[in-house]
Amino acid sequence: MSLPALPNHPTPPVTLALFCKVVDNFGDIGICWRLARQLAHEHRVRVTLWVDDLHSFRRICPPVDVDAAEQEVAGVLVRHWLGQEGEFAPAEVADIVIEFFAVDLPPGYVAAMAQRSPRPVWFNLEGLTAEEWVEGCHRLPSMHPRLKLTKHFFFPGFTPKTGGLLHEARLDEERIAFQGDREAVARFLSGFGLTPPELEALKVSLFCYPHAPVAELLQAWSAGQGPVTCLVPEGVAAAAVGAFMGAEARAGSVATHGALTVRVLPFVPQQDYDRLLWACDLNFVRGEDSFVRAQWAGRPFIWHIYPQDDKLHHKKLRAFLERYAAPEALAAFSLGWNGASDIGPMPVAWQDLQAALPQLVIRAGEWRRQVLAHGDLTTNLLEFARTLRLGGENPV
């Protein structure tokens, strides 16, 4: 006589809570939103994203309801983090808890973490840097001073001794298909109003902080020999762009002087920003999120690093340029763009950079393959969480 079949008891999905405070307008929520989506879509993790600024969130994700205390967006539960949350039950605590960039979790949530059995895996997801010291700090534990909780530091980075970078599973496939289809690229850019001559020009996306020498660069492009189409998101370098246009730089505005045409674009969803980077010949990016996306675009890029006290950002910039093995023209322009050295006459600096663009395209492809060999951040983070659970440390 055969035995009856055992009932199927599927393993419940892993739950994860990600806490984000928006400090730099779009970079913080940009990184956290990419991470949350990848966790949910590729790894079947049930994600709750706590975020304090829903208005900034909606700029990069239009479906977000800025008035909702709780909502589901693209398979992720989004909760408005008001900073006044009270007590939590241990059952409300996720299996994995991530604080982005050392934000302070709600005290009631931390207390519930200590009461939960088994206790959650707790990560501090740090900011990106190419400096060598992160390899010694990556995965280090930190004991809570009062509670029986251990937090681990997890650093993104560019080497196998770090956590890698955010990179979705099908990103390269989508990029290659898009960049290989001239008609698709033209349709995408035409949606912003670009004319056929603008499509044929050297296309540059410009995303930077206000203190960048944008006015000098626009003047160099305008007086140059080759046509340039500059695409800048609304609100970026508004003073310099407005002065070039002779009017307020609003989304949809366009002006041409000499060899340069500047178009002001609306902020777009993250997927469209990726396509913008893919469609341009050169990308100026800032902060961390667009910096990483520019590396996956396979195009030359200039990074405007977030400024820090005592010019610590210059040290971080030099560390990246050294690790990137940046060709001389790229290193010189990058340092000058960030005020770490004298850029000299902008027309000369631009001519040197433009002449190096074919070499920089090759270097960009080499770098992308080099960094991808270390795996992506999301998968690496979940694998580390799994080893902590199996090892009995904060088991879930």
Q: Out of 126, 288, 289, 376, pick the active-site residue.
A: 288
DSSP-assigned states of every residue in 66-87:
TT-SEEEETTEEEEE--S----
Phi-psi region of 79 (alpha: psi -120 to 50; beta: other; left: phi over 0): beta
3-state secondary structure of 153: strand
pLDDT value at residue 154: 98
Residue-wise pLDDT tens digits, 107-135:
999 999 999 999 999 999 999 999 999 99
Q: CATH 3.40.50.2000 region(s) of the chain?
A: 170-373
Residue 111 has phi, psi (to 5 degrees) of -60, -40
Provide the residue type at 394 as one letter: N
CA 98 to chain centre: 17
Residue 347 has a CB neighbour count (10 Å cut-off) of 15
Residue 67 catalytic? no
pLDDT value at residue 102: 86
Q: Out of 28, 52, 99, 198, pick the active-site residue.
A: 28
pLDDT value at residue 83: 84
pLDDT value at residue 392: 56
Distances (CA, A) of 34 to 116, 170, 232, 305: 28, 13, 22, 20
pLDDT value at residue 26: 79
Beta bridge partners of 303: 285
Question: Looking at domain 170-373, what is its CATH homologous superfamily?
Answer: Glycogen Phosphorylase B; (3.40.50.2000)
Q: Cβ contacts of residue 390 below 8 Å, gap of 6+?
A: none
Residue 28 catalytic? yes
* Alpha-carbon Rg for the chain in angstroms: 23
pLDDT value at residue 85: 87
In tens digits, the chain (396 residues) has pLDDT values of: 444 454 555 677 899 999 999 986 678 999 999 999 999 999 999 999 999 999 999 999 999 999 999 999 999 999 999 987 889 999 999 999 999 998 999 999 999 999 999 999 999 999 999 999 999 999 999 999 999 999 999 999 999 999 999 999 999 999 999 999 999 999 999 999 999 999 999 999 999 999 999 999 999 999 999 999 999 999 999 999 999 999 999 999 999 999 999 999 998 999 999 999 999 999 999 999 999 999 999 999 999 999 998 899 999 999 999 999 999 999 999 999 999 999 999 999 999 999 999 999 999 999 999 999 999 999 999 999 999 987 655 544
